[in-house]
Amino acid sequence: MKKLIITTLSICVIIFGAAFAGAVSDGTIDINLSGTKEISPNAFQMSFTVETINQDSQVAVKENKENSENLYNALKSAINTGRGDYIKTSNYSVRPNYEYSSKGKRTLKGYTVTNSVIVFVKDTASVAKFINIASTKGITEVANLTFKATEYENECNALLAELAKKANKRANSALKPLGMQTIALKMMSTNCSDSTVRPYVNYAMKSNSRLMAAGTDASADESAPIEVGKTVLNANINASFYVGKTK
């Protein structure tokens, strides 16, 4: 359930003469409001790494290519591009492995080839499913799991709109005992940011790592639950209204 919490920070009335749209106002009232809103992330992103090691660089590259293609094809068949899911390569490297003697002599021992891909999926309930799919395709690491709210901008706009209405209502509530009311908006500044409560996912990933090491297939039931967490929107509005006598 979405929660809306609105806190009045301050109300400051500044009285001075001003002309507005051909009419004379009796001053201005400044309202500062802040609000927070919790929303549930609806997408996730994580990376999978395939690493191969061999004395021959060509063999290491070939093995990595085969494993990476198997991983890519498996992930590609599981995503839904129609809703915005995607896969992309985030890193590829080939590095030599050296061994150093007690005298500092360097000896080439082989090569390590690393290929990392990022998967973005608009279905937070399928995190374990994708970890399990990847675990059967020779991956050596699962990392950087993050959850995202793709409706962030729309939710921020809705929160700011609610605060704007509250600001005008609060201004008129303060002015009513004085026989005054708001007659027009002078200026308004807004901002909206987000913070996400990150879930604990280490246990789930370690569990799957053990399954990979054992050479077994991981099923969705064998994965530890992964808590998606919440995204908290923080919005602020500073509004200044022209005021006049109540009609």
Q: Phi-psi bin for 18: left (phi > 0), alpha (psi -120 to 50), beta?
A: beta
| Beta strands 180-196; 4-14: pairing state | unpaired
Residue 182 exposed, middle or buried by CB count within 10 Å (0-12, 13-18, 19+): buried
Structure-token pair, residue 163 = 């605060």
Architecture per CATH, domain 43-148, reads as 2-Layer Sandwich (3.30)
Q: Where in the chain is the domain with CATH 3.30.70.2970?
A: 43-148
Of 47, 137, 123, the C-alpha closest to 90 is 47
pTM: 0.68
How far is it, in rounded angstroms, from Cα 213 to Cα 205? Answer: 12
Residue 83 exposed, middle or buried by CB count within 10 Å (0-12, 13-18, 19+): exposed
Per-residue pLDDT of the chain (247 residues; tens, 9 = 90+): 444 444 443 444 444 444 444 455 779 999 999 999 999 899 999 999 999 999 999 999 999 999 999 999 999 999 999 999 999 999 999 999 999 988 889 999 999 999 999 999 999 999 999 999 999 998 999 999 999 999 889 999 999 999 999 999 999 999 999 999 999 999 999 999 988 665 544 434 444 444 444 444 444 445 556 778 888 999 999 999 999 998 8
